[in-house]
Amino acid sequence: MAILVNEEKKLFTLNTKSTTYQMKVIDYGYLAHLYYGKRLDGDMSYVITHYDRGFSGNPNDAGEDRTFSMDNIPQEYSCYGNGDYRTPAFNMKDIEGVHGADLRYVSYEVLNEKYSLKGLPAAYTEGEKGETLKIVLMDDVNGVQVTLLYGVIEDKDVITRAAIVKNVSDADVFITKAASTSLDFVSGDYDIIHFHGRHAMERMFEREEITHGVKKIGSIRGTSSHQHSPFVMLADRAANEDHGDCYGISLLYSGSFNCEVEKDQTDQIRLNMGIQDEMFEYVLYPGSEFVTPEVAMVYSADGFADMTHKMHDLVRYNICRGEYKTKRRPVLINSWEAVYFDFDGDDIVNIAKKASELGVEMLVLDDGWFGVRNDDRSGLGDWFVNEDKMGGSMADVVKRVNDLGMKFGIWIEPEMISEKSRLFEEHPDFAFRIPGRKPVMSRSQLNLDFSRKEVVDCILEQMFKVFDQINVEYIKMDMNRSIANVYSITEGIQNNGTILYKYVLGVYDFMDRLQARYPKLFIEGCSGGGGRFDAGMMYYTPQIWCSDNTDAICRLDIQYGTSFGYPISVVGSHVSAVPNHQTGRITPFNTRAVVAMAGSFGYELDLNKVSDEEKEEVKTQIAAYKKYWDLMHNGLYYRLTDADKSKKIAAWSFVSRDKAETLVNIVTVDSFCNSPVPFVRVKGLDADATYVDEATGAEYSGQGLDQIGLPVPLKFGEYNAYQIHLVRK
Ligand code: GLA
């Protein structure tokens, strides 16, 4: 049993292969957090200490005891208003507008399987053991019950959390904050590692010491966003790739979120993560429930690489789903950077033709095939084929592509509406707009109100009509603006604070219904590249276009940051033309391919326009991708350098789980004359073995590769890349 309950002590212990999580019901029915970290035995109740601290309130039940304060006790689900002045995990308002909560223990239940969440993504188990601990807490005054859910996937070292808030009173209650997880640490010096960014430059690594006060990251954009990732790490100050305590915490949610870390007056640390509470106010009618998104947590005593391996395995095998969950995805060519909006059916077939000759397996028709859409100012919401522009039916184009032996994929952006569209003429109320205010525009489009089922239905019905007629095997589902103008005619003013949450549920429902209608369909996520790159989305889209920036050198940083919490298989990555369309940089064709292979591989250019030499290279690249795919997607990923450019090279590797082979990838990011030889220390190998470079026959000792490293070849020219395949002798 991974979940141990000591009824007498009211002690709950969750054990995974190498981690332990422990909590206990203490005096007056409060649920205290005792420990989360390396696997330990025994009762850690001693971590709770009691001292009289000025201005830290005491529960009335404690009588004259001034040493008992929620302000100091590590807790599982802290509340605003019961004497704890730190950043709370939970708060609510009663019908009179009075804030506050005080949750006390009621009961527990252990289930022999991992829970799932209705309408929301949640990690699942398949052929491996999962367990659930439910702990019911209650606020007697407002009649609100909170069920804390803990999922344990023992073999993967994963603990998940979520909460269900239920109104058991006969008056409305308003939830103003409901985190998915709250972790209190009574000791330790921690850094917070988070991944900030912007459009076309997502998930930049940042590490900061947690100092007194509150550090907050998150999104109020209605999506998880380019600007902050809902995956963070908490790491011991001394931890690095290979050593030290670190926690990976990933929120399975694709909307506005919030992560706060606080160092309090006595140097204790709290981390809360969950749905964004700004502008959030969820009205809970008598008898109704609110379900928080799930958070998945892993801990490693052995540094970032080991934490990453655990997170990668969780996302790849317990969150991603569908036909292509673990299958090699077809090598695709996408029309966007090849022709943008300027194409007809013949142009698309021509791109497909050359690509298929060179070994590409799927053609993806990007934006511009529907409504009236020759630029980004019109047409969104009108999901019928523009046959005039295409010069015929979509069925004809798809057939011609299929006849080349290629699969066909198509782009959609279901959550949007252009003011210049038939849909807007017919249903202006489908768009988010606030009465009396001029709407905030972005890319000349508005957000559709996906909190309303009839809006989701309308978009799905239009799309079904198109997709029922063609053999579509892949969909790229895009989302190209942040949400604003939040107002829904069905929710009205009173329930405005619920809309963005319901919107995300609407998006999940859309994807569920699309997948149900076409069970073999492979959906790739996208939001202007990686603006909705989160573990929640990955439950529906096992691949996500990682960034609109296809520059190989920028991608090194983007893919480096992305790699901490998300597996390689999810990262959509393409070879594009030079000069690069986003940066103007020129990089060698091979370098672009090596970088794109650290993901799910494809092309984003017109292969009719590359040189004959490069056409031959495409064949070699695809052969290499197919050869190494299993190693890359199912092996263990190691970062061999960090984001520090002064090191002149970027390197990463894939190691098979039996350590029999590794593929070392190196890109030089700067060039010098008469350069010193850089050495890359190769990780994760068998120290006692000898490894042979498959291409040159050179031999290396496993220990040498680890301790001294692999010499990086020196070659004339800028931005060279190497893929070195080492095989155990
Ligand atoms: C977004 C996507 C691109 C492309 C365009 C089409 O920016 O990230 O890949 O699909 O939209 O408009």
| Rounded Cα gap, residues 174 and 177, in angstroms | 9
Q: Whose CA is nearest to atom 1 of ligand 1?
A: 528
Query: Which atom of ligand 1 has the smallest separation from the CA of 340?
Result: 6
Residue 493: predicted pLDDT: 56
| Rounded Cα gap, residues 500 and 481, in angstroms | 14
Residues with CB under 6 A from ligand 1: 336, 366-367, 376, 411, 478, 480, 526, 528-529, 545, 548
Residue 672: predicted pLDDT: 85
| Rounded Cα gap, residues 658 and 654, in angstroms | 12
Residue 431: predicted pLDDT: 98
Which of 534, 557, 604, 606 is labelled catalytic? Answer: 534
Residue 451: predicted pLDDT: 96
Q: Are 142 and 169 in contact (CB under 8 A)?
A: yes
Residue 645: predicted pLDDT: 66
Q: How many CA atoms lie within 13 A of 70 on its CB side?
A: 29
Is 8 catalytic? The answer is: no
The helix-helix angle for 453-467 and 499-517 (nearest 10°) equals: 20
Identify the CA nearest to 531 among candidates 123, 180, 216, 221: 221
Query: Which atom of ligand 1 has the smallest separation from the CA of 476?
Result: 10
Q: Which of 284-288, 436-440, 489-493 has the lowest mean pLDDT?
A: 489-493
Residue 620: predicted pLDDT: 98
Q: Whose CA is nearest to atom 2 of ligand 1?
A: 528
DSSP readout, 164-183?
A: EEEE-SSS-EEEEEEEEEEE
Q: Are 147 and 167 in contact (CB under 8 A)?
A: no
| Rounded Cα gap, residues 380 and 377, in angstroms | 9
Q: Mean pLDDT throughout 536-561?
A: 98
Q: Mean pLDDT throughout 409-432?
A: 98
| Rounded Cα gap, residues 321 and 233, in angstroms | 25
What separation in Å is there between the alpha carbon of 528 and the centre of ligand 1?
A: 5
Which of 614, 693, 706, 718 is labelled catalytic? Answer: 614
Q: Are 22 and 185 in contact (CB under 8 A)?
A: no
| Rounded Cα gap, residues 561 and 513, in angstroms | 32
114: its two tokens: 């991992």
Q: Are 431 and 452 in contact (CB under 8 A)?
A: no
Query: Which atom of ligand 1 has the smallest separation from the CA of 529?
Result: 8
What separation in Å is there between the alpha carbon of 410 and the centre of ligand 1?
A: 12
Residue length, the chain? Answer: 729
- Using most ligand atoms within 8 A of CB, pick from 336, 412, 571 the residue to mutate for ligand 1: 336
Query: Is the pLDDT assigned to residue 646 strictly greater than 90?
Result: no
User: Which amino acid, 529?
Assistant: G
Q: Mean pLDDT throughout 181-201?
A: 98
DSSP readout, 353-391?
A: HHHHHTT--EEEE-S-SBSS-SSTTB-TT--SB-HHHHT
- Using most ligand atoms within 8 A of CB, pick from 411, 546, 573 the residue to mutate for ligand 1: 411
Residue 647: predicted pLDDT: 73
Name residues whose C-beta falls within 8 Å of residue 484's C-beta, 6 or more positions apart in sequence. Answer: 222, 432, 439, 440, 442, 447
What separation in Å is there between the alpha carbon of 119 and the centre of ligand 1?
A: 27
691: its two tokens: 């490894």
- Using most ligand atoms within 8 A of CB, pick from 378, 410, 548 the residue to mutate for ligand 1: 548
Q: Whose CA is nearest to atom 4 of ligand 1?
A: 336
Mean pLDDT of the chain: 97
Query: Is the pLDDT assigned to residue 366 strictly greater than 80?
Result: yes
Q: Are 440 and 376 in contact (CB under 8 A)?
A: no
Name residues whose C-beta falls within 8 Å of residue 299's C-beta, 6 or more positions apart in sequence. Answer: 19, 36, 37, 38, 157, 245, 246, 247, 248, 307
Query: What digits encode the pLDDT tens for the residues 233-282?
Result: 999 999 999 999 999 999 999 999 999 999 999 999 999 999 999 999 99
Q: Is 478 helix (H, G, I), strand (E, B) or coil?
A: coil
Residue 644: predicted pLDDT: 75
Query: Which atom of ligand 1 has the smallest separation from the CA of 376?
Result: 12
What separation in Å is there between the alpha carbon of 203 and the centre of ligand 1?
A: 18
Identify the CA nearest to 138 among candidates 164, 187, 104, 174: 104
What separation in Å is there between the alpha carbon of 331 and the centre of ligand 1?
A: 19
Confidence of residue 490 (pLDDT cuts 50, 70, 90): confident
395: its two tokens: 């069925």
Name residues whose C-beta falls within 8 Å of residue 266's C-beta, 6 or more positions apart in sequence. Answer: 53, 72
Q: Are 526 and 199 in contact (CB under 8 A)?
A: no
Residue 491: predicted pLDDT: 65
**Is the backbone peptide bond immediately before 579 cis, with ω within 30 degrees of 0?**
yes
Q: Tell whether pTM > 0.95.
A: yes
Residue 28: predicted pLDDT: 98
| Rounded Cα gap, residues 441 and 362, in angstroms | 34
Query: Is the pLDDT assigned to residue 627 strictly greater than 90?
Result: yes
Identify the CA nearest to 523 among candidates 513, 561, 611: 513
Sign of CA dihedral 117, 122, 123, 126: positive
Is 718 catalytic? The answer is: no
Q: Whose CA is nearest to atom 7 of ligand 1?
A: 528
| Rounded Cα gap, residues 190 and 168, in angstroms | 39
What separation in Å is there between the alpha carbon of 337 and the centre of ligand 1?
A: 9
What separation in Å is there between the alpha carbon of 513 and the centre of ligand 1?
A: 23
What separation in Å is there between the alpha carbon of 687 and the centre of ligand 1?
A: 45
Q: Whose CA is nearest to atom 6 of ligand 1?
A: 367
Query: Is the pLDDT assigned to residue 714 strictly greater than 80?
Result: yes
- Using most ligand atoms within 8 A of CB, pick from 334, 367, 475, 527 the residue to mutate for ligand 1: 367
Q: CA end-to-end span of the chain, whole Å? A: 41
Confidence of residue 492 (pLDDT cuts 50, 70, 90): low
